[in-house]
């Protein structure tokens, strides 16, 4: 059976992490955090949350290990292909009317989502006038994203997704493969700026026409979701686009009045004027 | 025996939520179980079924057809309402937070499954403690056994579909290998016995708080 871990112990640990390392998990959905902390206890051979807390405060190699548990890095190229298909059909034609474009991928993990946008925009002839800001709080992931190197055994799924997302060419146009890896094309990489940015503590940095923040908000509590959605509304130009994960909604958010849902199925919203 | 108190409230009944898990062979049993729940059911019912990665649309509608309760897919941050049957969305873990609202996650699969029954049961146990009715149905993996065990360990009511009467016995057998649940029932026994469990629960809430 799992060790008993109370809400209070978790809150104290998250408070300590914030004070010492300035990572702010205090407003994350606690049920998921509890699962990950229990996994971390086992992996790091700690008996209790207080033992874990003592460890990260005294052993400087311990916190990066814990951080890997606290931020989940599950992602894919063209994850949820029907979303990218809807984007291509209903959003890209409107984006094409802007002389220059800035996109913000918030919570980009190891970069797959940012490369998916870059590929799609390249195929629609818009990449040359686009800048993509892709941000995350996990530095390891950002480094991987920057190199754009993915294990070859993931290619099969990548290709299936690319086709289902309405890809017009061949995915091999966008990477070159060596022995073990697929390396994303430099033309894509050049248009993407990967940067450290927290939706919990940082503020906006640029006006953008589109924000994509997918499968990140589910890990936040309602107040932190409100904060993030507020940042997106502030960063977006009037009528700018907000893309959320397939099962994410603004329904329970105080920021809901600032967005209108588009009627195209997947979770795409537009900022009201 | 004392007359029924007019202050009877949720605290008098034995459970504040129902959680159900199953995989292969569980859908039909689930339909039968839902049919036994009266319209006055005063607790939320939360279900994780393992389904193919792209399951057919309209499962909530299918289940609602012969059930008196509203059946819907759970949404992130949605507060749990009594008398509603919630299904985990395909591809996401479904968790219950301590303030009794749902949270979704795309964390790694557990026992190769997302949604995972263990994830639901364990978070339900963290929230409701022993005030749970948890059912584990037919299925082909060990998912759910550990979670059900935890519910039993804090005094929740646990029901396991009898392996002999399950299309796939692995899931119920995994639970029985860990502990002795409150009941081991065939689908027919469930249909027969569940109404009394639910009757207690709904009459309790029937009185003004
Ligand atoms: C499950 S991944 C989603 C990746 C990608 N958007 C997708 O949908 O495939 C969640 C990401 O959110 C990041 N994240 C968590 N908290 C964050 C925060 N406060 N600010 C920015 N990113 C955060 C995590 O590091 C992780 O990379």
Q: Considering only CB atoms, which chain A residues are within 8 Å of B126?
A: 31, 34
CB atoms within 10 A of CB A17: 21
d(CA B82, CA B69): 10
- Residue B7: per-residue pLDDT: 36
- Which of A23, A39, A70 is the C-terminal boundary of a domain? A70
**Domains: count for chain A:** 2
Q: What is the distance in angstroms between the Cα of A258 and the nearest Cα belonging to chain B?
A: 19
How far is C-alpha A90 from the geometric centre of its chain's CA atoms?
22
Give domain B11-197's CATH superfamily: Methylesterase CheB, C-terminal domain (3.40.50.180)
Give DSSP secondary structure letters for A186-253. HHHHTTEEEEE--TTT----S-EEEEEE-SSGGGB-HHHHHHHHHHHHHHEEEEEEEEE-TT--STT-
Its sign, for the CA torsion B139, B178, B90, A41, is negative
Structural domain includes residue A164:
yes
Give the Å distance between the CA of A44 and the centre of ligand 1. 23
Closest CA in chain B for residue A218: B104
In a domain, A26, yes or no: yes
Reported as a single tens digit per residue, the pLDDT across B5-33 is 333 334 347 899 999 999 999 999 999 99
Regarding whether A107 and A43 lie in a shared domain, the answer is no
Domain co-membership, A129 together with A152: yes
CA of B114 to the centre of ligand 1 (A): 18
Of A28, A44, A70, the domain-final residue: A70
- When pLDDT is cut at 50, 70 and 90, the band that residue B4 belongs to is very low
Residue A175 inside a domain? The answer is yes
With bands split at pLDDT 50, 70 and 90, how would you rate the model's confidence at B203?
low
Residues of B marked as catalytic: 23, 50, 143
The band of B1, judged by pLDDT with boundaries at 50, 70 and 90, is very low
| Spatial contact of A41 and A48, defined as CB atoms under 8 Å apart | yes
Tokens 């640990």 identify what position? Answer: A13
Q: Are strands B132-136 and B17-22 parallel, antiparallel or unpaired?
A: parallel
Q: What are the φ and ψ backbone dihedral angles of B132, each rounded to 5 degrees? A: -130, 150
Q: Rounded mean pLDDT of chain A?
A: 96
A169 has pLDDT over 90:
yes
Instruction: Assess whether A45 and A85 both reside in one domain.
Output: no
Residues A57 and A105 in one domain: no
Asked whether residue B158 carries a pLDDT value surpassing 80, the answer given is: yes
DSSP for A5-58? --HHHHHHHHHHHHHHH----TTB-HHHHHHHHHHHHHHTT-SSHHHHHHHHHH
Tell me, what's the pLDDT at B207? 47
pLDDT at B199: 76
Tell whether A103 is covered by a domain.
Answer: yes
Identity of the residue in B75, B123, B150 whose CB atom sits nearest the CB atom of A1: B150
User: Which among A7, A30, A72 is the nearest to B107, CB-wise?
Assistant: A72
- Distance (Å, whole) CA B103 – CA A230: 20
Is the model more confident about B186 or about A4?
B186
Q: Which residues line ligand 1 (CB under 6 A)?
A: A 71-76, 79, 106-109, 113, 136-138, 141, 198-200, 214-216, 245; B 106
What the block records as the tokens of B159 is 């029901």
Residue B201 has pLDDT above 90, yes or no: no
Are B89 and A247 a contacting pair at CB < 8 A? yes
Where residue B200 falls among pLDDT bands split at 50, 70, 90?
low
Contact of B169 with B198, CB cutoff 8 Å: no
Report pLDDT digits (tens) over A60-96. Answer: 999 999 999 999 898 999 999 999 999 999 999 999 9
pLDDT at B149 over 50: yes
Q: Is the domain of A49 the same as that of A141?
A: no
The band of B52, judged by pLDDT with boundaries at 50, 70 and 90, is confident
- Spell out the alpha helix ranges (H) of chain B: 26-35, 59-65, 117-128, 145-153, 170-178, 187-206
**A205 and A112 in one domain?**
yes
pLDDT, tens only, A181-220 = 999 999 999 999 999 999 999 999 999 999 999 999 999 9
**Residues paired with B96 in a beta bridge:** B102
Pair A62, A41 in one domain: yes
3-state SS assignment for residue B18: strand
CATH number of the domain residue A214 falls in: 3.40.50.150
Domain that holds residue A34: 7-70
Spatial contact of A201 and A19, defined as CB atoms under 8 Å apart? no
**Domain shared by A23 and A93, yes or no:** no
The angle at the Cα of B114, spanning B113 to B117, to the nearest 5 degrees, equals: 75
Establish whether the linkage from the previous residue to B115 is cis, with ω within 30° of 0.
Answer: yes
A-side interface with B, Cβ within 8 Å? 1-2, 7, 29-32, 34-36, 72, 74, 215, 217-219, 221-222, 225, 245-249, 251-252
**Which of B76, B96, B106 is closest, CB to CB, to A74?**
B106
Residues of chain B contacting residue A246, judged by C-beta atoms under 8 Å apart? 91
- Does residue A242 surpass a pLDDT of 90? yes
**Does any domain span residue A2?**
no
Identify whether A76 is part of a domain.
no
Average pLDDT over chain B, rounded to an integer: 89
**Residue A77: Cβ within 10 Å count:** 27
Closest alpha carbon within chain A to B103: A218
pLDDT tens by residue, B57-103 = 788 999 999 899 999 999 999 999 999 999 999 999 999 999 999 99
pLDDT digit string (tens) for A113-138? 999 999 999 999 999 999 999 999 99
Q: Which of A192-206, B92-106, B151-165, B187-201 has the lowest mean pLDDT?
A: B187-201
């Amino acid at each position: 059976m799992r060790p008993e871990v109370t809400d209070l112990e978790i809150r104290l640990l998250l408070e300590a992490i914030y004070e010492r390392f300035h990572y702010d998990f205090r407003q994350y959905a606690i049920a998921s955090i509890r699962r990950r902390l229990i996994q971390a206890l086992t992996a790091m051979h700690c008996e209790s949350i207080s033992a874990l807390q003592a460890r990260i405060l005294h052993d400087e190699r311990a916190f990066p290990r814990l951080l890997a548990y606290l931020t989940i890095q599950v992602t894919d190229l063209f994850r949820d292909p029907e979303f990218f298909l809807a984007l291509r059909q209903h959003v890209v034609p409107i984006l094409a009317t802007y002389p220059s474009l800035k996109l913000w991928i918030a919570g980009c993990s190891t970069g797959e989502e940012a490369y998916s946008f870059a590929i799609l925009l390249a195929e629609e002839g818009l990449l040359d006038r686009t800048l993509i800001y892709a941000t995350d709080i996990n530095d390891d992931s950002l480094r991987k994203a920057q190199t754009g190197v993915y294990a070859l055994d993931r290619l099969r799924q990548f290709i299936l997704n690319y086709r289902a997302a309405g890809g017009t060419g061949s995915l091999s146009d966008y990477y070159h493969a060596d022995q073990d890896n697929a390396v994303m094309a430099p033309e894509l990489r050049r248009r993407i700026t990967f940067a450290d940015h927290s939706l919990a503590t940082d503020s906006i940095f640029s006006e953008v026409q589109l924000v994509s923040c997918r499968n990140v908000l589910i890990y936040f509590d309602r107040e932190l979701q409100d904060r993030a959605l507020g940042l997106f509304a502030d960063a977006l130009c009037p009528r700018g686009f907000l893309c959320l994960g397939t099962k994410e909604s603004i329904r329970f958010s105080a920021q809901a009045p600032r967005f209108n849902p588009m009627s195209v199925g997947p979770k795409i919203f537009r900022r009201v004027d | 025996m004392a007359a029924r108190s007019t202050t009877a409230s949720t605290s008098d009944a034995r459970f504040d939520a129902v959680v159900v898990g199953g995989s292969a062979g569980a859908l039909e049993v689930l339909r039968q179980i839902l049919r036994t729940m009266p319209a006055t059911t005063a607790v939320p019912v939360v279900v994780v079924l393992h389904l193919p990665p792209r399951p057919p649309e309209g499962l909530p509608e299918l289940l609602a057809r012969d059930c008196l309760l509203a059946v819907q897919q759970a949404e992130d941050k949605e507060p749990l309402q009594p008398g509603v049957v919630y299904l985990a969305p395909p591809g996401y873990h479904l968790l219950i937070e301590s303030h009794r609202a749902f949270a979704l996650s795309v964390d790694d699969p557990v026992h190769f499954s997302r949604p995972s029954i263990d994830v639901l049961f364990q978070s339900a146990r963290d929230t409701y403690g022993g005030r749970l009715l948890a059912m584990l149905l037919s299925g082909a993996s060990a998912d759910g056994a550990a979670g059900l065990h935890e519910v039993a360990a804090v005094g929740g009511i646990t029901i396991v579909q009898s392996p002999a009467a399950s299309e796939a016995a692995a899931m119920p057998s995994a639970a029985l290998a860990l502990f002795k649940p409150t009941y081991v029932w065939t689908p027919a026994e469930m249909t027969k016995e569940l109404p009394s469990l639910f009757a207690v629960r709904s009459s309790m809430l029937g009185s003004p708080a």
